[in-house]
Amino acid sequence: MPALIALTAVIQALFVLHVLRTRRPFWWAVIVTAFPLIGCLAYYFIEVFPRSREFRGAQRISAQMATAFVPHTELRRRLADLKLCPSVSNKVAAAEELMRCGMYYRAVCLFEEALRGIYATDPQLLMGLARAHVNNQTYEQSREVLERLSRIDARYRPEEVRLLNARALEGLGRFDEALQEYRQLSEVYVGLEARCRCGLLLKRLHAAAQRRLGEVEPGGSGRKPAAVCKDQGMVQLAQVNIRKTHGNGS
Check residue 49 and report its DSSP letter. G
Rounded Cα distance between 68 and 141, Å, is 33
Task: Please state the rounded mean pLDDT for residues 142-149.
Answer: 96
> Which of 58, 89, 106 delimits the end of a domain?
58
From the list 114, 145, 119, the residue with the least C-alpha distance to 130 is 145
In a domain, 45, yes or no: yes
Gyration radius of the chain's alpha carbons: 30
Q: What is the pLDDT of residue 37?
A: 79
Higher pLDDT, 83 or 230: 83
Higher pLDDT, 155 or 2: 155
Rounded Cα distance between 198 and 54, Å, is 35
Residue count (the chain): 250
> What value, to the nearest 5°, has the Cα angle with vertex 143 and ends 138 and 149?
125
Rounded Cα distance between 197 and 143, Å, is 18
Task: Please state the rounded mean pLDDT for residues 114-128.
Answer: 94
Confidence of residue 166 (pLDDT cuts 50, 70, 90): very high
Task: Please state the rounded mean pLDDT for residues 222-241.
Answer: 51
In a domain, 89, yes or no: yes
pLDDT tens sequence across 98-109: 999 999 999 999
241 and 175 housed in the same domain: yes
Confidence of residue 224 (pLDDT cuts 50, 70, 90): very low
Given a cut of 90, is residue 148 above it in pLDDT?
yes
Higher pLDDT, 147 or 63: 147
Q: What is the pLDDT of residue 225?
A: 46
Confidence of residue 188 (pLDDT cuts 50, 70, 90): confident
Q: What is the pLDDT of residue 245?
A: 55
Print the domain residue range for 175: 157-245
From the list 68, 133, 132, the residue with the least C-alpha distance to 97 is 132
Q: CB within 8 A of 72, min separation 6: which ones?
A: 101
From the list 116, 125, 48, the residue with the least C-alpha distance to 93 is 125
| Helices 73-84 and 88-100, axial angle in degrees (round to 10) | 160
User: In the chain, pLDDT over 70 holds for what percent of residues?
Assistant: 77
Q: How many CB atoms lie within 10 A of CB 108?
A: 25
From the list 201, 207, 121, the residue with the least C-alpha distance to 169 is 201
pLDDT tens sequence across 26-65: 788 888 888 877 888 888 788 777 776 766 776 677 666 6
Q: What is the pLDDT of residue 53?
A: 72
In a domain, 63, yes or no: no
In a domain, 148, yes or no: no
In a domain, 150, yes or no: no
- Greatest alpha-carbon pair distance for the chain in Å reads 99
Cα dihedral across residues 65, 63, 103, 154: positive or negative:
negative
Work out how many domains the chain is built from and give that number.
Answer: 3
Given a cut of 70, is residue 246 above it in pLDDT?
no
Most confident range (mean pLDDT) of 7-11, 66-70, 126-130 is 126-130
Confidence of residue 223 (pLDDT cuts 50, 70, 90): very low
Rounded Cα distance between 185 and 170, Å, is 14
In a domain, 42, yes or no: yes
Q: CB within 8 A of 205, min separation 6: which ones?
A: 175, 179
The whole-chain average pLDDT of the chain stands at 81
Q: What is the pLDDT of residue 172?
A: 95
Q: Are 165 and 143 within 8 A, CB to CB?
A: yes
162 and 204 housed in the same domain: yes
